[in-house]
Chain A
Amino acid sequence: MSKSFDRFNGTEKYIVSPALRDVVNVAISLGRPLLVKGEPGTGKTLLAHNIARALGKDLLIWNVKSTTKAKDGLYVYDTVQRLNDSRFGTGDVSDIKRYIHLGQLGRSFTTAEQVVLLIDEIDKADLEFPNDLLNELDEMSFYIPETDETIEAAQRPIVVITSNSEKELPDAFLRRCVFHYIEFPDADLMKDIVHVHFPNLEKKLLKEVLNRFYWLRQIDNFRKKPSTSELLDWIQALIAGGIEPEKVAKELPFAGALIKKEQDVEVLQAALERSGKSGPLGLRSRF
């Protein structure tokens, strides 16, 4: 097995499935962007943070918004500042370089050390956005016409891209990526994940909590199914409230930590009635 690249194995705070771990390592060794999709709360964004931590590299985050243009990530030419300077005679206007500010993608090319670049929620931007980045991500270089400079990556950054599939990404862009869909963790993996966050959690409570949680996940009608982050919040609440495992099995205390939508509360109530466990829901705190 080649050892020419850094290998990612998860961190003590972030448990990866073997599949995801392999995929991350493939993306790193091929030098291709890794595109991650998955249900909300499956840790897409955290993945980049933890790749950076595990490999001891710096992380640059480029948060994409609906107004973000591809060029913003490369560089911004601050014309207004230059105009202002020329008008009031402050600063050296003839030096255009002073008005070129590199974006996150641009910065990730120029660092001496290899960095991890997270392009978060790429689907938020305009449909054309990914297409405008094709060449830059392929060649890892771009040209600044204003200063007649070409910025080339000394170290190809490890690029992690997350998407919530709000928009479909163009094929040409996808061809260049390594893709992984983060599945919702199964009970075994979830046990490990919970253990990382609550190492001292009682075994019995954990078992009941997971039972309840996966029972909830089975209910189809939810607008938003509870996810990992909600589970962790819930456990936190249960611990803080000193709830006994038996109570978790019988009723659903602090359900507000799991269910966030009003319609879903009704769905939950109906499901509880069907299962004959219609105890108090503990929702008053939220609704």
Chain B
Amino acid sequence: MFMDFFYTLRQLKVPVSVTEWMTLMEALSKGHAQSSLTSFYHLARAVLIKSETFYDQYDQAFAHVFRQAALPPDIRQEILDWLADPLNRLELSDEEIAKLQRWDLDKLREELDKRLNEQDERHDGGSRWIGTGGTSPFGHSGAHPAGIRIGGEGGGGRAIQIAAARRFRNYRTDVALDVRQIKVALKKLRQFAKEGPEDELDIDLTIDKTCREAGEIELVFTRARKNTVKVLLLMDSGGSMTPYSRLVSRLFSAAHQMSHFRDLKAYYFHNCIYQDLYKDIYNNDVEPTAGMLKNLDGDYKVILVGDAYMAPSELMSVGGAIDYYYHNETPGHEWLSRIADHFRNCVWLNPLPQMAWVHPTIKAIGHVFPMYPLTLDGLEEAVRKLIVKH
């Protein structure tokens, strides 16, 4: 059952390594989590899970594996059964077993501890323990397996309840995105280069120079390393984007608060990009797309945000723009291609779930720009794509 737990976690894509598993074994063999399944739940979570984003998966795995692990009615009998299991290789004489039966729980535990320590020495290392652990209920990893079944005050069922409640669903990376999380993802968007005025003291060179000058201090300055990433953010503010407006505004404010970009430009568009981009969605402050393409170098990293969901004519036809008073001579698709050609690194973030990406316009735009879902995972992937050097 223990090994089941490990592999269930791995199956749910939780990054659990053998190192962490061994740490858990070490903790158990030191006598932690003896009292209840609840404390085992917390112990295993602390050791195995390293981010609250995986708490939900952990809860699921825990509930799945240990749901059947009901408390045995008679603890002592359970331990004695366990001791009698030949797999445990505990050579207890009948006399000793009789002795055990008379002891109270604490003493029993003590004795178990002792015996299991002895057993540990007879096996080479801990690996075999875990190996056999899968076959016997709760494994062989010390007194604790039995200990877990010893209910304690809390009652063993509670951990399952905690697990089944799945309180950490909010922290899953593939669901929620807040400003801070976006910032964390965007922070990876950086490229260092030495630039700016020479205002940083180069200690090594200074010492070297000073020594050469026979102790007369000679200060050497160098340029500081700075992030040279420039970002262009193009956001869809069309009607179909309204449900995602909060998500997009979070992305925008995160990008805006990032002080480490060398430059950040942001424009809005309605459904698709034509000859004009909007600096502000409310007061029609426009900048021609062609001018933007001329002014900005190709080394801007472009992040387009939109659902890419529109009538095919809006993307492909002359005069297809959704706004009645707006006429475009060049189809939107052409404008998008121009952007993709001009800038070396572009990504399209789509707030629609990936399974909805079958609509023809989404597919067509997906051919022009690499498209990622607007989730933390998707954003991270997009950022990885953006920092690739050409």
Contacts and interface: CB of A to CB of B under 8 A. Distances in A.
A-B complex is real:
yes
B52 A32 contact: no
B17 interface: yes
A1 B184 contact: no
A148 interface: no
Interface of A: 1-2, 18-19, 22-23, 25-27, 29-30, 32, 35, 37, 79-80, 83, 86-87, 127, 165-169, 171, 174-175, 177-181, 183
A35 B31 CA distance: 21
Given A19-B42, A179-B46, A30 B17 contact: no
A69 to B, nearest CB: 13
Contact of A175 (B19, B38, B203): B19
Nearest to B52: A181
Interface residues of B, number: 36
Interface stretch (B22-30, B92-100, B330-338): B22-30
A83 B209 CA distance: 12
A30 B184 contact: no
Contacts of A183: 167
A179 B27 contact: no
Contacts of A167: 184, 187
Interface string B32-49: 111000110011001101
Contacts of B32: 22, 25-26, 29
Contacts of A166: 180, 183-184, 187
Contact of B39 (A18, A27, A32, A86): A18
Contacts of B42: 18-19, 22-23
A245 B137 CA distance: 54
Contact of A87 (B15, B26, B217): B217
Nearest to A182: B52
A177 B46 CA distance: 9
A87 B207 CA distance: 12
A187 to B, nearest CB: 15
Given A22-B39, A23-B42, A86-B215, A30 B51 contact: no
Given A30-B26, A30-B30, A168 B184 contact: yes
A19 B23 CA distance: 18
